[in-house]
């Protein structure tokens, strides 16, 4: 009975370690995928911010090998096992995930994943970025113009090509910048007039003037554009300090009057009685 | 008449006899002082290196210092129960033990304030509490009331002492000159004048009434330090009376222990008799029953609903991490002792001493159970922190500093009982007079 159990146990352990060691195949097309933007310090920095928020809890501090104890090991991003992979492989694995490694495709867009790759590469001094072969490929160039139609509560994004003509079929993504992350307004394609519309919820909290900071990212083929703009789109918000006025939760100077009166009245009356007794005891001398 | 004078003479002889520094008391004080110095070395370490020398951390930031503080405040409430509540209600039997209760109260209250300072990482900034404190914070209320309570307790001890101090000043020989001089100053020109008696009786009555709300307030505010925060296990509207009723249990046990030691080492067997132990035992049963009642409320009401954070806290108490200590304290330190005290034989001096010691020990650990485990179950889950943050174990430094507080208590109590008669002589004389007439 015992022997059987041990054999079974060993087999289970073995199968686990096999899963752990099984290599992570990446399809050839993804493996050869390359960033069309050159990695620079700015990209590395935005990559680091994403890394600290989303990756560090398992992968630990780069070069310290202080990753979480898990099976399979998350590994250190500065290690060879990471650096020997192609850019495309890293990009694919972050997006798709496997087992305990989450799928980041829904949380991060492709550019953000490239920023992460840039950050991972910043720990490899021998790394030379491969550029994609763009021969014969036309990279569309265009700019974005934003406006707000207050009659229909829609954000209007117009794409204008190099030739000053509107550009259709451009992928647009619009966000509202928030304190702790961006709020996705939506995704759309521009129409023949080069225009994309986004619904804006009028109840969103704006600043004191009713302004929201809009971020629009556009992409067509290898061409991309991004713009940020503060626009009046919603009702102005009035901000009031939570500790304004006399409250139990306010500052010392803003203590409620009733509390001050009760506290000081109680303490002072008790001490007056104490003093009454202390000075009263002097009267004992009169009879001596 | 001769009879009465003889009796008075015996009383004075018996009760003034312990008021001197004998060999035994000097050895005892020396032992206490050496222990204190050793413990203070650890406090020096804490001052130099900060609270890092303790086991306190991000989650359990109130450890045995604050548990000990709650215990000290609790035990100090007994002066009010015995001298004021029972005294004003006309109980005669408390007379020979009232001063013991008051000395215990004053000593515990004085040290309680110091324990708070030992929990501060920067005691040099103590005055900031007064300069920048928010009056909305129960901590400010606590400091105000602790200081007031100490003042009233000292007066409550001092006022009925005046006639006895005058007696000491007149009759006690072989004392250091400075002590004689102190008696003279403190006796305030006492001359046994009837008006003087009238006056101190009036002031004593005033103080005895005054101390009842103050004592209730000091322990209620101490309970509010916990109950006013949003934490499962502390967020309870009955914390005030729960603390006060627990305080009387600890205090009665402390007084019983004190009675036993004073009785044996000061040769007061004919003054503190089996009758007094019997009475104290009964009082202890009463207050323990009230405390058990509050314990049942405090646990059954949230345990019936088992909502969110409360559930986790209660499970760890009832059958989890803290279960062993919890049941030892509740059954061994509270229920079993009070059941034993229901039997007359168990209310004799020696069994009383043993039972009271168990209760007092249980009372200390009960404060630990109130203060510490709650902090290990915050509403916001503990995540991504070193393993050591999730547990709390007091360090040697912390234990030594806590021991120092007990040593300091014993020093104050010993000094007070060595320079003043432990049983009110003039009140005893009055009683004897009444009995004869």
- Chain B environment of A259 (Cβ under 8 Å): 135-136
* Residue contact A287–B151, C-beta within 8 A: no
**What local confidence, expressed as pLDDT, does residue B109 receive?**
93
Q: Which of B25, B77, B39 is nearest to B406 (CA)?
A: B39
Shortest CA gap A75–chain B (Å): 18
Residue with token string 């010392």: A252
- Residues 49-68 of chain A with CB under 8 A from chain B are 57
* Residue contact B155–A256, C-beta within 8 A: no
Say if domain A142-232 classifies as CATH 3.40.50.300: no
Among chain B residues, the shortest Cα distance to A286 is held by: B189
C-beta of residue A198 within 8 angstroms of C-beta of residue A188: yes
Flag the least confident range among A22-26, A33-37, A121-125, B306-310. Answer: A22-26
Region of A75 please: left (phi>0), alpha (psi -120 to 50) or beta: left
pLDDT digits (tens, 9 = 90+) for B369-381: 999 999 988 887 7
Whether A222 shows a pLDDT value over 80: the answer reads no
| Mean pLDDT within B258-268 | 91
Which residues lie closer than 8 Å to A35 by C-beta, 6 or more apart? A87, A91, A114, A117, A118, A129, A132
- Strands laid side by side in the A154-161 sheet: A142-149, A154-161, A195-199
Flag the least confident range among A235-244, B205-214, B254-263. Answer: A235-244
**What local confidence, expressed as pLDDT, does residue B1 receive?**
57
- Chain A environment of B190 (Cβ under 8 Å): 284, 288
Cα A249 to Cα B134: distance, rounded to the nearest angstrom: 10
Count of C-beta atoms within a 10 Å radius of residue A241: 7
Q: Is A267 in the B-facing interface, judged by CB distances under 8 Å?
A: yes
| Residue percentage of chain B with pLDDT more than 90 | 64
pLDDT digits (tens, 9 = 90+) for B114-126: 999 999 989 999 9
Q: Which of B363, B421, B368 is nearest to B246 (CA)?
A: B363
SS3 state of residue A205: coil
**What local confidence, expressed as pLDDT, does residue B406 receive?**
96
pLDDT digits (tens, 9 = 90+) for A160-217: 998 889 999 999 989 998 887 788 899 999 999 999 999 999 899 899 999 999 999 8
Residue-averaged pLDDT of chain B: 91
Nearest CB to A273: which of B145, B159, B210? Answer: B210
User: Strand A195-199 and strand A211-220: pairing?
Assistant: unpaired
- Chain B environment of A284 (Cβ under 8 Å): 162, 188-190, 196, 199-200
pLDDT digits (tens, 9 = 90+) for A50-88: 999 989 989 999 999 889 888 888 999 999 999 999 999
Among chain A residues, the shortest Cα distance to B203 is held by: A277
3-state secondary structure chain B: CHHHHHHHHHHHHHHHCCCCCCHHHHHHHHHHHHHHHHHHHHHHHHHHHCHHHCCCCCCCCCCHHHHHHHHHHHHCCHHHHHHHHHHHCCCCCCHHHHHHHHHHHHHHHHHHHHHHHHCCCCHHHHHHHHHHCCCCCHHHHHHHHHHHHHHHHHHHHHHHHHHHHHHHHHHCCCCCHHHHHHHHHHCCCCCCCHHHHHHHHHHHHHHHHHHHHHHHHHHHHHHHHHHCCCCCCCCCCCHHHHHHHHHHHHHHHHHHHHHHHHHHHCCCCCCCCHHHHHHHHHHHHHHHHHHHHHHHHHHHHHHHHCCHHHHHHHHHHHCCCCHHHHHHHHHHHHHHHHHHCCCHHHHCHHHHHHHHHHHHHHHHHHHHHHHHHHHCCCCCCCCCCCHHHHCCCCCHHHHHHHHHHHHHHHHHHHHHHHHCCCCCHHHHHHHHHHHHC
Whether B412 shows a pLDDT value over 90: the answer reads yes
B219 against A11, higher pLDDT: B219
| Mean pLDDT within A234-238 | 90
- Chain B environment of A283 (Cβ under 8 Å): 199
Q: How confident is the model at residue B176 (pLDDT cuts 50, 70, 90)?
A: confident
Q: Is A255 in the B-facing interface, judged by CB distances under 8 Å?
A: yes
Whether A19 shows a pLDDT value over 60: the answer reads no
ipTM of predicted complex: 0.88
Mutation pick from B128, B130, B133, B134 vs chain A, by most beta carbons of A within 10 Å, is B134
SS3 state of residue A278: helix
| Residue percentage of chain A with pLDDT more than 70 | 93
- Chain A environment of B193 (Cβ under 8 Å): 287-288
- Chain A environment of B199 (Cβ under 8 Å): 280-281, 283-284
| Residue percentage of chain B with pLDDT more than 70 | 100
pLDDT digits (tens, 9 = 90+) for A80-124: 999 999 999 999 999 898 888 988 877 788 888 999 999 999 999
* Residue contact A287–B206, C-beta within 8 A: no
- Chain A environment of B130 (Cβ under 8 Å): none
pLDDT digits (tens, 9 = 90+) for B226-251: 999 988 889 999 999 999 999 999 99
Q: Which of B161, B120, B141 is nearest to B227 (CA)?
A: B141
- Phi first, then psi: what are they for A195, rounded to 5°? -120, 140
Domain B2-436 adopts which CATH fold?
Formate dehydrogenase/DMSO reductase fold (1.20.1630)
Packed helices B64-75 and B349-375: angle between N→C axes, nearest 10 degrees: 140
Nearest CB to A277: which of B148, B155, B191? Answer: B155
**What local confidence, expressed as pLDDT, does residue A21 receive?**
52
Mutation pick from B130, B135, B170, B217 vs chain A, by most beta carbons of A within 10 Å, is B135
Whether A9 shows a pLDDT value over 80: the answer reads no
Residue-averaged pLDDT of chain A: 87
CATH code matching the domain that covers A26-121, chosen among 1.10.260.40, 3.30.360.10, 1.10.760.10, 3.40.1390.30: 1.10.760.10
**What local confidence, expressed as pLDDT, does residue A143 receive?**
92
* Residue contact A57–B384, C-beta within 8 A: yes
Shortest CA gap B134–chain A (Å): 4
Whether A17 shows a pLDDT value over 80: the answer reads no
Whether B198 shows a pLDDT value over 70: the answer reads yes
- Chain B environment of A281 (Cβ under 8 Å): 159, 162, 188, 199-200, 203
User: pTM for the complete prediction?
Assistant: 0.76
Which residues lie closer than 8 Å to A17 by C-beta, 6 or more apart? A71
Cα A112 to Cα A49: distance, rounded to the nearest angstrom: 10
Residue count (chain B):
437
Shortest CA gap B153–chain A (Å): 10
């Amino acid at each position: 009975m015992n022997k059987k159990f041990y054999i079974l146990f060993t087999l289970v352990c073995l199968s686990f370690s096999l899963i752990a060691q099984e290599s992570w195949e990446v399809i050839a097309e993804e493996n050869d995928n390359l960033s069309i933007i050159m990695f620079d310090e700015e990209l590395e920095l935005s990559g680091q911010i994403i890394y600290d928020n989303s990756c560090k809890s398992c992968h630990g501090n780069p070069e310290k090998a202080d990753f979480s104890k898990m099976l399979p090991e998350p590994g250190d991003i500065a290690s060879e096992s990471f650096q020997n992979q192609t850019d495309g492989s890293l990009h694919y694995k972050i997006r798709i995930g496997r087992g305990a490694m989450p799928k980041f495709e829904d949380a991060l867009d492709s550019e953000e994943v490239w920023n992460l790759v840039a950050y991972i590469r910043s720990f490899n001094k021998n790394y030379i970025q491969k550029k994609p072969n763009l021969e014969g490929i036309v990279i569309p160039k265009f700019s974005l113009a934003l406006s707000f139609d207050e009659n229909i509560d829609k954000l209007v994004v117009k794409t204008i090509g190099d030739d000053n003509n509107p550009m259709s079929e451009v992928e647009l993504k619009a966000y509202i910048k928030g304190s702790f992350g961006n709020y996705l307004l939506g995704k759309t394609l521009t129409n023949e007039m080069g225009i994309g519309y986004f619904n804006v919820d009028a109840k969103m909290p704006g600043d004191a003037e009713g302004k929201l900071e809009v971020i629009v990212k556009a992409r067509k083929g290898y061409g991309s554009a991004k713009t940020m703009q503060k626009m009046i789109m919603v009702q102005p918000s009035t901000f009031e300090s939570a500790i304004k006025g006399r409250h139990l939760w306010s500052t010392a100077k803003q203590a409620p009057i009733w509390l001050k009166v009760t506290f000081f009245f109680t303490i002072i009356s008790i001490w007056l009685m104490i003093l009454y007794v202390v000075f009263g005891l002097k009267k004992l001398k009169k009879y001596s | 008449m001769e009879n009465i004078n003889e009796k008075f003479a015996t009383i004075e002889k018996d009760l003034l006899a312990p008021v001197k520094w004998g060999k035994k008391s000097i050895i005892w004080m020396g032992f206490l002082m050496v222990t204190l110095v050793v413990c203070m070395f650890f406090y020096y370490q804490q001052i130099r290196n900060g609270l890092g020398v303790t086991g306190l951390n991000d989650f359990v930031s109130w450890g045995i210092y604050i548990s000990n503080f709650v215990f000290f405040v609790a035990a100090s409430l007994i002066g009010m129960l015995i001298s004021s509540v029972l005294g004003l209600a006309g109980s005669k039997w408390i007379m020979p033990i009232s001063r013991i209760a008051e000395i215990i109260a004053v000593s515990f209250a004085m040290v309680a304030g110091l324990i708070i300072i030992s929990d501060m990482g920067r005691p040099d900034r103590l005055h900031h509490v007064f300069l920048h404190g928010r009056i909305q914070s129960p901590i400010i209320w606590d400091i105000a009331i602790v200081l007031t309570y100490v003042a009233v307790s000292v007066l409550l001890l001092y006022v009925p002492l005046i006639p006895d101090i005058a007696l000491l000043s007149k009759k006690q020989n072989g004392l250091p000159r400075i002590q004689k001089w102190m008696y003279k100053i403190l006796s305030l020109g006492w001359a046994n004048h009837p008006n003087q008696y009238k006056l101190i009786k009036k002031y004593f009555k005033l103080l005895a009434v005054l101390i009842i709300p103050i004592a209730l307030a000091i322990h209620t505010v101490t309970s509010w330090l916990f109950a006013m925060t949003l934490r499962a296990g502390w967020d309870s509207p009955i914390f005030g009376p729960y603390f006060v009723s627990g305080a009387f249990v600890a205090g009665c046990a402390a007084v019983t222990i004190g009675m036993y030691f004073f009785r044996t080492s000061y040769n007061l067997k004919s003054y503190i008799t089996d009758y007094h132990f019997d009475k104290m035992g009964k009082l202890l049963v009463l207050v323990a029953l009230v405390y058990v009642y509050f314990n049942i409320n405090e646990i059954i009401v949230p345990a019936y609903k088992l909502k969110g954070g409360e559930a986790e806290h209660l499970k760890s108490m009832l059958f989890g991490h803290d279960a062993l200590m919890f049941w030892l304290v509740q059954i061994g330190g509270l229920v079993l002792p009070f059941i034993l005290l229901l039997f007359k034989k168990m209310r004799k001096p020696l069994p009383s001493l043993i039972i009271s010691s168990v209760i007092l020990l249980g009372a200390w650990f009960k404060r630990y159970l109130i203060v510490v485990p709650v902090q290990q179950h915050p509403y916001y889950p503990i995540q991504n922190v070193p393993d050591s943050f999730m547990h709390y174990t007091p360090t040697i430094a912390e234990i030594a500093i806590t021991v120092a507080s007990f040593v300091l208590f014993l020093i104050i109590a010993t000094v007070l009982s060595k320079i003043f008669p432990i049983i009110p002589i003039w009140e005893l004389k009055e009683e004897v007079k009444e009995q004869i007439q």
